[in-house]
Amino acid sequence: MPLYEYKCTNCGKVLEFIMKSGDAPVEGCRFCGEKRLERVLYSKFSVGKASAESSCAAKDFCGSACSGSKCNFGGSE
């Protein structure tokens, strides 16, 4: 079963639940007792080929722009 993250609407703590897709978490926040939780969604991260004029798609993640058409993300190339 997949791991899902939910954020408490009261205290803001992030909780992890292992459950079937589509099921709502049965319990509330273990820190403050609040029953309302919001699902935390993450966007996909992908690095594509960058042209010499553009910045790398990972610039915000790795903190540096690509040199030419090679991405510096990962640091080995």
pLDDT tens by residue, 8-17:
999 999 999 8
Q: Are residues 11 and 32 in the same domain?
A: yes
pLDDT tens by residue, 41-77:
877 665 655 544 444 555 555 555 555 555 555 544 4
Residue 44 lies in a domain: no
Q: Residue 56 gets which letter from DSSP?
A: P
Residue 72 lies in a domain: yes
Q: Are residues 15 and 33 in the same domain?
A: yes
Residue 29 lies in a domain: yes
Residue 12 lies in a domain: yes
Q: In sequence order, what are the residues at sequence separation of 6 or more whose Cβ sits closer than 8 angstroms to the Cβ of residue 14?
A: 5, 6, 7, 8, 40
Domain extent, residue 8, equals 3-39
Angle ∠(7,11,14) on CA atoms, nearest 5: 30
Q: How many domains does the structure of the chain reveal?
A: 2
